[in-house]
Amino acid sequence: MYITSSELYNSDMSIVSVADARNNFSEIITQSQTEAVFIERRGQQAAVLVSPEHYERMMVALEDAEDVAAFDAAMAEEGPNIPWAQVKSDLGWV
């Protein structure tokens, strides 16, 4: 259940006003199953409606990116490192 950056930035989308979203809510929900629907208030983006599946893929992608950033930060830290073999031994994985 991974999402690529091209899916995040190149997916289809529509823009509707708050009034249109209010008047056609059921249709907007149906539309959000296949594309992101941006809802604008006074010409400014106020919300985005996406399918639960697309939202879940975005959350997984965000968590993966946060994990990579945390790993990179840990690797950049000064100080002693514990060898992987010792970690496995300490955890009883050997």
Residue 69's CATH number: 3.40.1620.10
Per the structure, how many domains does the chain have?
Answer: 1
* pLDDT tens digit sequence for 42-80: 999 999 999 999 999 999 999 999 999 999 998 888 888
Checking if the pLDDT of 8 tops 80, the result is no
The reply to whether 37 falls in a domain is yes
- Cβ partners under 8 Å of residue 1, min gap 6: 56, 57, 60
Q: What is the pLDDT of residue 81?
A: 83
Show the domain range for 32: 5-77
pTM over 0.75: no
Checking if the pLDDT of 11 tops 90, the result is no
Question: Rounded distance, CA 56 to CA 71, Å?
Answer: 23
The reply to whether 49 falls in a domain is yes
